């Protein structure tokens, strides 16, 4: 769907590469510009084959082409400029100070490429005292955004999100911004700065709580299982298999839950007919549900809940996700080249285009795998390329 769109990505780790990776899945030609040594995320797990290939890198960089450029060398900076001159989109996660020093901040680039969609992905945004503060999703997205704080129960410590979760959501929001700017360019012919950050995305994700805080001056406390009169939504069936239930219609759904737990007597108990009555007996309710559900197989519980229209779901591990019928039916795994002549499965992007999907995805590149080919496309001859390699401006 994005055939003919050229994207230059100069971003490391996750959020920026996710945005470019989604566009690559949609058909754009994405050139990944890596510093000498390659994107650092290549090395955050033991490599499964030479060249820094590992699964955490692979999913967000499949189908891209890689060129290694040293911006500290004039020849390297000239290569990046040529790449940007021929691009529709430039996505970068470098901090503003570094880009400005190299002459690739938005204002500098706009002067010679006014139709460029320039996407900046940072920890804390482009303005204010935190603009150049380094960040990862655990700090900017989880901690400072308020998400971890709002998920912390009074008696516990802040939870840690799984690796890259905030990055992937930020990458998604960045891609949305880039696509919107590309659409606007079809009307105006003008480029646009697209700014996203881990902090801003985290605050948006927390919008439900922030809205409450703004209007009410307080938010609902983080649930703590078995305390504060809060009845949990998570329970274990036989063999310790976790599942989640949600009582949407409080009058209709709670009798269904009680019956599924083998406690129809509670469904008839007048004390359990109102939210106030159940909350006042939260410990009693939870003990009854836990004991009842633990005696039943998850499949049987699920069948009974579904038969009466109650919303529920099993709690899955990563291994279970890969064989779960709901994920498979939704196309949540895609086939990609493994770089060795075969194929493998990879997590799909969050958006589908039924009838216009591009099929099997390309392999992720090794560092600088396409350097010579890309330089040739830019008009450099063999002697020029050899000289730049000699000067270690490219690799």
Helix (H), strand (E) at residue 64: none
What predicted TM-score, i.e. pTM, was given to this entire model?
Answer: 0.92
How many distinct structural domains can be found in the chain? 2
Evaluate whether residue 327 is within a structural domain. no
272 shares a domain with 199: no
Q: Which two tokens stand for residue 309?
A: 């229209």
Q: Is residue 242 assigned to a domain? A: yes
**Phi, psi torsion values for 336, nearest 5 degrees:** -140, 160
Do 11 and 111 belong together in one domain? yes
Do the Cβ atoms of 197 and 205 come closer than 8 Å? no
Instruction: Return the closest-CA partner of residue 195 out of 87, 121, 137.
Output: 121
CATH classification at residue 286: 3.30.1540.10
Per-residue pLDDT 10s for the chain (395 aa) are 999 999 999 999 999 999 999 999 999 999 999 999 999 998 887 777 666 567 889 999 999 999 999 999 999 999 999 999 999 999 999 999 999 999 999 999 999 999 999 999 999 999 999 999 999 999 999 999 999 999 887 768 888 889 899 999 999 999 999 999 999 999 999 999 999 999 999 999 999 999 999 999 988 877 666 555 578 889 999 999 999 999 988 889 999 999 999 999 998 998 888 888 988 888 899 999 999 999 999 999 999 999 999 999 999 999 999 999 999 999 999 999 988 889 999 999 999 889 887 789 999 999 999 999 999 999 999 999 999 999 999 99
284 in a structural domain: yes
How far apart CA 178 and CA 91 sit, in angstroms, is 9
b/e burial code for range 150-174 (CB count within 10 A of at least 16 → b): bbebeeeeeeebeebbbbbbbbbbb
Domain of 158, in residue numbers: 6-206+365-390
Backbone angles phi, psi at 134, to 5 degrees: -65, 150
């Amino acid at each position: 769907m994005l055939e003919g769109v050229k994207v230059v990505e100069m971003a490391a780790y996750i959020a920026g590469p996710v945005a470019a990776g989604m566009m690559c899945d949609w058909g754009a030609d994405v050139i990944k510009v890596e510093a000498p040594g390659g994107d650092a995320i290549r090395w955050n797990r033991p490599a499964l084959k030479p060249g820094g290939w590992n699964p955490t890198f692979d999913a967000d960089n499949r189908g891209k082409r890689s060129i290694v450029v040293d911006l500290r060398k004039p020849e390297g900076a000239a290569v990046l400029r040529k790449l940007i001159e021929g691009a529709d989109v430039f996505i970068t996660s470098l901090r503003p100070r570094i880009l400005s020093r190299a002459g690739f901040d938005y204002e500098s680039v706009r002067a010679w490429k006014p139709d460029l969609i320039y996407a900046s992905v940072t920890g804390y945004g482009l303005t204010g005292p935190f603009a150049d503060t380094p960040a990862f999703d655990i700090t900017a997205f989880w901690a400072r955004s308020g998400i971890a704080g709002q998920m912390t129960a009074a008696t516990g410590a802040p939870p840690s999100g799984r690796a890259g979760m905030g990055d992937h959501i930020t990458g998604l929001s960045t891609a949305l911004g880039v696509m919107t700017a590309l659409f606007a360019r079809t009307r105006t012919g003008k480029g646009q700065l697209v700014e996203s950050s881990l902090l801003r995305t985290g605050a948006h994700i927390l919008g439900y709580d922030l809205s409450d805080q703004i209007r009410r001056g307080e938010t609902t406390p983080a649930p703590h299982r078995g305390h504060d009169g809060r009845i949990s939504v998570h329970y274990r069936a036989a063999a310790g298999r976790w599942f989640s239930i949600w009582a949407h219609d409080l009058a209709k759904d709670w009798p269904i839950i009680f019956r599924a737990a083998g406690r129809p007597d509670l469904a008839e108990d007048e004390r359990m007919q109102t939210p106030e009555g159940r909350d006042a007996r939260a410990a009693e309710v939870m003990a009854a549900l836990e004991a009842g559900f633990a005696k039943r197989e998850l499949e049987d519980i699920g069948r009974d809940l579904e038969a009466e229209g109650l919303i529920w779901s099993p709690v899955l591990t990563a291994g279970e996700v890969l064989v779960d019928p709901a994920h498979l039916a939704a196309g949540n795994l895609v086939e990609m080249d493994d770089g060795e002549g075969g194929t493998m499965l990879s997590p799909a992007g969050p958006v589908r285009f039924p009838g216009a999907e591009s099929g099997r995805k390309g392999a992720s590149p090794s560092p600088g795998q396409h350097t010579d080919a890309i330089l040739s496309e830019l008009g450099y001859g063999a002697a020029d390329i050899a000289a730049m390699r000699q000067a270690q401006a490219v690799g």
